Amino acid sequence: MNSPQIVSIRPPKIEEVVSAPNPYLEILQKQKDAFIERGIPSVQQRIDTLNTMGKMFSDNSDDIIAAVQADFGHRSSVETVASEVLGVLSEIRATKGKIKKWAKPLKPKGGLPGGRMFFQPKGVIGIMGAWNYPVQLVISPLIGVLAAGNHAMIKPPDVTPRTSDILQSLFAKHFDADYITVITGEVETAVQFSELPFDHMVYTGNTEIGRRVMMAAAKNLTPVTLELGGKSPVIIDDSFPVAKAIKRLIPGKSMNAGQTCIAPDYVLINKDRVAEFVKDFERLATKRYPTLVDNENITWIVNERHHKRLLDIIEDARAKGAEIHQVNPQHESIPEGSRMIPLTVITNVSDDMRCMQEEIFGPVLPVKGVNSTEEALNYLKGRPRPLALYYFDSNRKRSEEVMRTTISGGACVNDAMLHIANMNMPFGGSGESGLGHYHGYDGFLEFSHKKSIQFSSPRFSPSSFMAGPYPKRTYGFLKRVVKFLG
């Protein structure tokens, strides 16, 4: 016989499960100890935390906006306020009033009487955010983490250091470090952070780094939520007016200079309508941005590396025979040192071009001509599952069939990006575009442990029927039941 496995009756210390020295082990151990000592926070304590955090963001909004603007060099102030401040405050308000309802134990439908399902916090959760929305993509998952009663360690992106610094300062001022703490630093810090044995980890960013985070988490059996990206396609059926589709696409493609994980990435449209698409796109984009230089509504690419990457993608397409259509109504010269890229449509594309292989993450939109919507759908189904799908069609029944037969993280019919604004729906990816969901109730579920409990009466238990020796005829009876059920 094999020797019985010896199981420790105490939780292991962190240094027992992490072999390499890690400067953040002590912080995590203090958070885990505090979580045990303080116990599960009440609903009112969680609401109080969210109220404190909401006031913190409201009172310091000017400093937060200034930090984000400085990190980007030039960013639309309207977009910054809307996404980094109002978006966060709206989600806090939408969440805090529902925690009491969400946290109530549930009764299973059917089965033995006395069953209950309790929602308990997982413990200490690590959050790694992305630079394109350096506040929102840290705080949005944090809201769900805190609503579920957890503690949190946060690693903001290194690409936006000023924003990271102000987040660290604000949380240190308003919360105990053994409850919520912010760790800043560059790539090495991010690697060390991902290797910590959290009770759950959230990562938002690109797919390749997501793989590394998941491998690091696997060593500690840490469950992960991965919000990644990919190439979110647009399919325009012949029945839908091209200009109307473009009018609804441009805000999603131009907001934050296209540096959004669910921004429309490329368009599939009938090849006979490509010229019409280009003409209408240039006309409608000109209305949005009649000038480029000194336009306060235009956001720059976040840094030189990403700026060069996008320019290289455009030049790669040009060198391989694509046509480049940049929307520059006044034919202005882009000042040297500016990281502005005008809205750009690329036509006559082929799959060997970088613009059709890599996630664009910028104001560049490849347009691929197809023979039919069916061909477009087959093209989509043969590629990695996108984070979002945008389908335009005047036929409701056909649209519903497309939604039923395609797989993506989320989708919009006859619009773009609006699905993320509904806090009553989950947000997440599928396959290479992500794992797990958050937002609203789904965030509460994602960061909770759903514990099943069976309560039995002191006077009677169904297990009493199993107490004595099995009757001789039991096996035959069970075999007849198997046959009946089969």
Task: Say how many C-beta atoms besides its own lie within 10 A of residue 60's C-beta.
Answer: 17
> For the purposes of burial, counting CB atoms within 10 Å of the CB of 352, is it exposed (0-12), middle (13-18) or buried (19 or more)?
exposed
Listing DSSP states for 170-198 in one string gives HHHHHS-TTTEEE---SHHHHHHHHTS--
224 DSSP β-pair partners: 201
Report the b/e string of 426-465 with b at 16+ CB within 10 A: bbbbbbbbbbbbbbbbbbbbbbbeeeeeeeeeeeeeeeee
How far is it, in rounded angstroms, from Cα 66 to Cα 54?
Answer: 18
How far is it, in rounded angstroms, from Cα 231 to Cα 218?
Answer: 26
The amino acid present at 316, given as its one-letter code, is: D
**C-alpha angle 185-186-187 in degrees, rounded to nearest 5:** 135
Listing DSSP states for 242-263 in one string gives HHHHHHHHHHHHHGGGG--TTS
Q: Lay out the sheet containing 344-347: strands in order across.
A: 323-326, 344-347, 364-370, 266-270, 233-236, 388-392, 410-413
Residue 194 tokens, joined? 């991902």
Farthest-apart Cα atoms in the chain, separation: 93
How far is it, in rounded angstroms, from Cα 133 to Cα 479?
Answer: 60
Q: Lay out the sheet containing 124-128: strands in order across.
A: 180-182, 151-155, 124-128, 200-204, 224-227, 434-435
Kindly list the catalytic residues. 227, 261
Asked if 189 and 182 touch (Cβ cutoff 8 Å), the reply is no
CB neighbours of 167 closer than 8 A, spacing ≥ 6?
135, 138, 154, 156, 182
SS3 60: coil
